[in-house]
Structure formats: structure tokens, C-alpha cells
Amino acid sequence: MPKRSKPQIDPAIYDQKDFELIKAQSTLFKASQEKVRDSFRRFFTSGSSDPYEPKKRGYAGEHADTELEQINNEVKAISRAVMRYPNDEVKEQLYRIHEKLKYQFAGRSVEGIEWLLGGASAMARGGFKNAQNFKNFLNTDPKKISPSRLITGIESVLTAIGYRMINADWAIAPFDPLNDPMSTEEQKLMQHTVIGLRDYVSAIKDFEDKHHLVDSINAVYKNRWFDDVGQATIYDAQDIIQNAVDVSEASEADQEDLLPQTPLPERKFQRYNDGTNLSWIGAADESNVPVRAHTSGTAPLTLAAMDAVLSSQGGPDYSHDTQDRDKLRTLAGALIIPTFLRGDFHSIAETYAGVEYYVEARSKKATGSTVTIQPIQPSDAFRGALKLMGNACTTDKVNGSAMPLQAAVKIVSEDVEQLIHDHDAQLTEQKRSKRI
């Protein structure tokens, strides 16, 4: 985004009194904006001593850490703002998801729930320590749960459901109880429930490949796995982007029910495809866009699980909640984008790419469209994520501020966008012979 030019005042068309008044109003406006920025940053910047909080952020590369740290810190402040103060429409949607989760799981066995939560418990931040903890969450009036805790709790269980839907082998075993002789009856019963939820998403399920509710995000971001140096045996040592070990950060004021058992590993990526064209990660690095783990394949699974829960049997049918594409995007701006950052799954640009892919892929399956889904460039994904988080924020004034929170988030977002540059990734598919 080009830097905004300051309006020019021509004193020739005003008398001196008018000119001085305009100058004074301009000065007051700039001072007011600066006050909003300072107040916002003080209130939403963490002073946490959390052991998972990194002492230094940014990743190795050509750009100065100070600029990247500024971007990261501003983004984290925005993510805290939306998680603590989502708007009324988002809160109502969260209450309905909580209600449907209660219908599905509050009466289920401890053993079955433990298996379900094991879909993401090793990686979750803000999930549930055990099945009873989850049941207590479900049996509490959601309006009495802080928005931040409600968001992290819902996201963690939806992600667990999404992973169990595909029998993810990185979850806690057994991955597929129905075909595991060592599994228990309660685990098998819960897997039947998960399969039932998956089958409710009739508009998006893929009958040819039961492991994907929509086609894999790799269908659009074709080099997603090959950009990861860990997936390659041949690479140029000079062609490496090393990302932050941890992009997450949580305030001491945020409720922490669960910390990850093991922090996710550092990732290394190739800057170029086939030695010449910028990879998606390479373009992100050139654009000053923070990266963590490439475009998110988890975001589509979490959103698919949400669609399944909302349209499932038991209680009211809330499937209409997410049929509006813009409402789904805004909900993701509170439920998925900030939590994946906080949980150290993905940066906001990576998660936005996954959210937008799901929105488009779901529509394509529902309508039978043959239109090709286009990949999103890193800088556009970053800006899109900021917009969705801003849209999800309350329009009320908080913490004694003179400005609505959503307006304050917009000001800070525009500041951050000035530090982002446009560099296009060349996303033609790589020749595998160069990578294996």
C-alpha cells in the first residue's frame, strides 16, 4: 500500500484566520491519532513472563529485526484486542457454536471426549486439560465466559474435531479407532460421532477422498510442501529463510487453561522455486510479512468442523450462520486468525490464506463451479487478515478511550501496512526432480 500523502493547504485561498484554524485542527487531529495509538499499544501490549514468549522475534534474513518486531508487536496487540472485545454479532455466533457443542458433547463419556480432544491437545494453547474441564466449559453460560476464553476454547475443540475428521497421524493415538484393535468402545463411539459431523457438511464433503472435506490447500499453493527445506534432500544453503521459533505471545490477563506440551519446531524454507522464482515464503520475506509455517491447511479443517457442528442434529439448526461469506470471514477474524497466531500455528497472513481458500472452495463445491481458485499473495493476505480482525472488533469505546476500538484498530493497522511491501510469489508448480 503506498504511503498516504499529507493534504496540502494553500493559504492563497483562505484568509489568515481560516488558515490558522485549519492548521490548528490538523495538529489536534494528528495529536488525537497519536494518543489513540499510544493508548492502544499500552493496553494491548503484553508484559507477560510466559515461558513460551520469545525473547527475540523476527527471522533471519535481509531485513532489520526492528521493523519486523514492530510489525509483530502491533499485530499481536490487534489480535488481543479482537479476542477480548469482539463485536456483538461475533459474540452471538460464538454463543451459538458453544450451544451446539454442548448438545453434541456435554453428555458424552470422559474416555470418548479425551480421545476427541487428543486431536489437537499436544499443540493447543488455551484448550482443555481434561474431559471434565471441557464439560465444565460446556455447562457454563457462554455469556459468563470471557470472550478470549470462549474463543480459545471453541477454536481448540473445533481444530481437534477437524484433525479427527481426517484421522490425522500427528494427533494422539489411536488415529482411527474403528480400524485399531487396541482402541476402546468409547473411542469408537466418538469416532462415529465425528464421522457423522463430517457427513453433515454435505455441500463441501469430497466423496472421492474421504480425508478432505474440501480439496487440500495444496491444490492452490502447489509448492507448499516443497518450499519446506525439511521436505527436501537437495537445496542451496544460501537459499534459506529461517523463521521465528515462536510468533505467539499471551498476556498474563488471558486465561491459560493449557499450554502446548511441546512448542512447534522451527521451520526453514527455500526462498526461490527452482532457483529463480520467489516462493510464497520468499515473497513474504521480501514483503516484510511475518511467516511461521506456510499457508494454513488447518484453517480449512477448523472451519469445516465449525460448519459441521452448526448444521448437526441436536438443538436448533444454525447452519445459516456461516452461509454468508462475509459473515464467515468476519467470524474467522476473531475465532481463527488471532488464535492461530497466539497458539504459534501460523502468522496472520498464512491463516488468512487458509480461511480465504476454504470460503472459495466451499462455494465452488456447493455450486459446482469450475472456476479456478487463485492463490493470494503474502502482502494481500496480510492486509486481508488485518481487515478481518478489525471488522470483528467491537465498535464500542473500551478502557476509557475516546475512540471506538474498531476505529483505533484501523489506525494501528494502517500504520503497520506502511511497513509492508508488494512482492509477488511465482506460484507455478515446481519440478519435483529438483526437490527429491
- 226-230, 253-257, 406-410, 412-416: least confidently modelled range: 253-257
pTM as predicted: 0.83
Length of the chain (residues): 436
Tens of pLDDT along 193-216? Answer: 999 888 766 444 443 444 446 788
Tens of pLDDT along 222-249? Answer: 888 777 766 554 455 556 665 543 444 4
- 15-19, 46-50, 70-74, 388-392: least confidently modelled range: 46-50
Residue indicated by cell numbers 497421524: 169
pLDDT at residue 263, as a whole number: 62
Put residue 126 in one of left, alpha, beta given phi > 0 → left and psi -120 to 50 → alpha: left
Alpha-carbon separation of residue 166 from 40, 180, 213, 319 (angstroms): 41, 15, 9, 21
Burial class (CB in 10 A: 0-12, 13-18, 19+), 227: buried
Identify the CA nearest to 201 among candidates 12, 329, 394, 361: 361
All three cell numbers of 359: 470460503
Alpha-carbon separation of residue 221 from 31, 123, 143 (angstroms): 44, 24, 39
pLDDT at residue 65, as a whole number: 54
pLDDT at residue 34, as a whole number: 74
The C-alpha atoms of residue 356 and residue 353 are separated, in whole angstroms, by: 5
Does the pLDDT of residue 357 top 70, yes or no?
yes
The C-alpha atoms of residue 405 and residue 427 are separated, in whole angstroms, by: 37
pLDDT band at 434 (very low <50, low <70, confident <90, very high): very low
Half-sphere exposure of 297 (CA within 13 A, CB side): 18
Tens of pLDDT along 70-124? Answer: 898 899 999 999 999 999 999 999 999 999 999 999 999 999 999 999 998 877 6
Tens of pLDDT along 44-81? Answer: 875 443 333 333 333 333 444 578 888 988 999 999 99
User: What average pLDDT does the chain have?
Assistant: 79
Does the pLDDT of residue 23 top 80, yes or no?
no
